Amino acid sequence: MNHLCVSTCEAIKALALKGWSGRRIARELAVNRETVARYLGPSKPAIPPPGSAPPPESNPAIPPLGSEGTGTGSAPKPAIPTVGSRAGRRSLCEVHLAEITLAIEQGLSAQRIYQDLVTSHAFAGSYTSVKRFVHRRRASQKLPFRRWESEPGEEAQIDFGQGAWVIDEHGKRRRPHLLRVILSHSRKGYSEVLWRQTTEEFIRGLENAFRSFGGVPAKLIVDNLRAAVSRCDWFEPELNPKVREFCAHYGTVMLPTRPAMPRHKGKVEAGVKYGQNNALKGHEFKSLAAQNAHLIEWERTVADTRLHGTIRRQVAQQFRDVERPRLQPLPASLFPMFSEARRSVHRDGHIELQKAFYSVPPEFMGQQVWVRWESKLVRLFDERMKPIALHARVDPGRFSTDQAHIHSHKRAFIERGVDYMLERAALMGKASGNWTRRMYEVRGVEGIRVLQGFLGLVDDHPIGLIERAAARAFDQGAWRLRDLKTLLAEPSPQLTLGFLESHPLIRDLNQYAQLTPDCFSPL
């Protein structure tokens, strides 16, 4: 059904009052004759040709409520209009108007409203009548859209459209994607065409826009394009990890719109159409670079010089005076572009990346981790994107192993260094520490293996015996492990006590003589 604007409807009625025919009005206003007839009301019955039978009488229309009844001579009463009903038979839903209105405000469907009416009030009407009535009530309750304006530097809206055709020297035609970034307050825009809508090209396009503006807006409004959004969700969308890192680098936030809701970013929707129709329509270019150069010049000479549709001020002037000072400053460096993928941790505690191997903490063995790599660095993350390792890039076939990633049970003594082994020996006792230090001073590098063997003695011998053997070896100047083991295997010497004639604890025999004089008296 065609719906005409108010001015056209008024023109139809005015021309009809002047006596114009419907055909003439339709031809003059370039509208359909049936549309003109619908706006002029019911037409007069056609005059039957001569000799034809008179048309059959149609059934009389049902008079509206309150009109003159049939068969009575009473004067007609004016019809009382009812909300949600049309002229004719009164809807059975009118009796339950208040209840239906409340149900509509609660968001209930027409089917649910019908079920409740049948259950609560034994409603005798049909579901179709309820559906019609609810539809008319909802149409009368529609609210106007709310216009939303942004503060300077608060927001930028981003969207893609189609660029102009690029025809190379071989005649091959290819159409790129048009990226437009619009600052919501001043309507300052940036345009760039890209061959693909990948995450990398999307990020580089946004970065070029920030550099063009000379600053960064506080938030970015995008639709749910695959280059930026991994999972669509109005309440908690999941962004691409690389896009999330990009936003953190520039100190901004990306907020996807509700799915299938383009009016949430209406400024850039109009901006894309404006760029396509004004800047690119009817043009062809020999290269992508030529089209981008044309867009830069168009933004400077055309888009920036137009009047702002709301405040009626030039876009470039509003951006320069008001919005640019409110943008966040640019970071010192560009966003480091990296590649990203999942990798499984092998049994040796390493992941493979481009035929090179990088270590992972031992607790991640057998699991999957995220790997991000660039020209010089390799970063590893767990499933929650928490950093777990950092490596410098190595050549294919090489290993990069962090010593902290080797479990203590899998780390040899020699890997930990001589100082570590000497400290371990000193913990066994004073004699062990003295013998190992002196042995290493005497034997030098050869003593490293002797230290390993000495520390391994604790697996088969008590520390007390090792301490005694180390003390005897130190006294004898035996610096070979074989000699120490020989001393360790010898039986322990028995303790011999010397005879003492005098001691503070030993009493003199004269004292005993005084106690027992009879026993010690001379015969």
Q: Tens of pLDDT along 192-228?
A: 999 999 998 999 999 999 999 999 999 999 998 888 9
Tell me which residue range forms the domain holding 205: 155-326
Residue 228 lies in a domain: yes
Q: Are residues 476 and 440 in the same domain?
A: yes
pLDDT in tens, 255-296: 998 887 777 788 888 899 999 999 999 999 999 999 999 999
pLDDT value for 33 = 83
Residue 255 lies in a domain: yes
Q: Are residues 184 and 299 in the same domain?
A: yes
Mean pLDDT of the chain: 82
Q: Are residues 258 and 184 in the same domain?
A: yes
Residue 295 lies in a domain: yes
Count CB atoms within 10 A of the CB of residue 149: 11
Short-list 324, 305, 325, 301, CA closest to 313: 305
Judge contact between 40 and 13, C-beta under 8 A.
yes
In this predicted model, which residue has the larger pLDDT, 76 or 422? 422
The average pLDDT across 40-53 equals 57
Domain count, the chain: 5
pLDDT value for 166 = 94
Q: Are residues 317 and 177 in the same domain?
A: yes
Confidence of residue 70 (pLDDT cuts 50, 70, 90): very low
Residue 357 lies in a domain: yes
Q: Are residues 211 and 295 in the same domain?
A: yes
Judge contact between 230 and 239, C-beta under 8 A.
yes
Look up residue 314 and give its DSSP letter. Answer: B
Which segment of 52-61, 118-127, 164-173, 373-382 scores lowest on mean pLDDT? 52-61
Look up residue 194 and give its DSSP letter. Answer: E
Residues whose CB is less than 8 angstroms from the CB of residue 319 and which lie 6 or more positions away in sequence, other chains included: 183, 186, 188, 304
CA torsion through residues 71, 72, 76, 78, sign: negative
Confidence of residue 500 (pLDDT cuts 50, 70, 90): low
Q: Are residues 363 and 419 in the same domain?
A: no
Q: Provide the H-helix boundaries in 387-508.
A: 413-416, 418-428, 430-443, 447-455, 463-476, 481-489
CA–CA distance, 360 with 348 (Å, rounded to integer): 9
Q: Are residues 406 and 428 in the same domain?
A: no
Q: Are residues 392 and 426 in the same domain?
A: no
Q: Are residues 321 and 350 in the same domain?
A: no
pLDDT value for 79 = 45
Q: Are residues 321 and 196 in the same domain?
A: yes
Which amino acid type is present at position 406?
A: I
Q: Are residues 348 and 322 in the same domain?
A: no
Question: Which domain CATH number covers 218?
Answer: 3.30.420.10
Q: What is this structure's pTM?
A: 0.50
Strand boundaries in 307-408, DSSP class E: 339-344, 350-353, 356-359, 368-373, 377-381, 387-392, 399-400
Residue 361 lies in a domain: yes
Q: Are residues 417 and 406 in the same domain?
A: no
> Which string of b and e fits 55-77 if b means at least 16 CB within 10 Å?
eeeeeeeeebbeeeeeeeeeeee
Domain boundary among 326, 348, 378: 326
> Which string of b and e fits 187-214 if b means at least 16 CB within 10 Å?
bbbbbbbbeebebebbbbbbbebbebbe
Residue 104 lies in a domain: yes
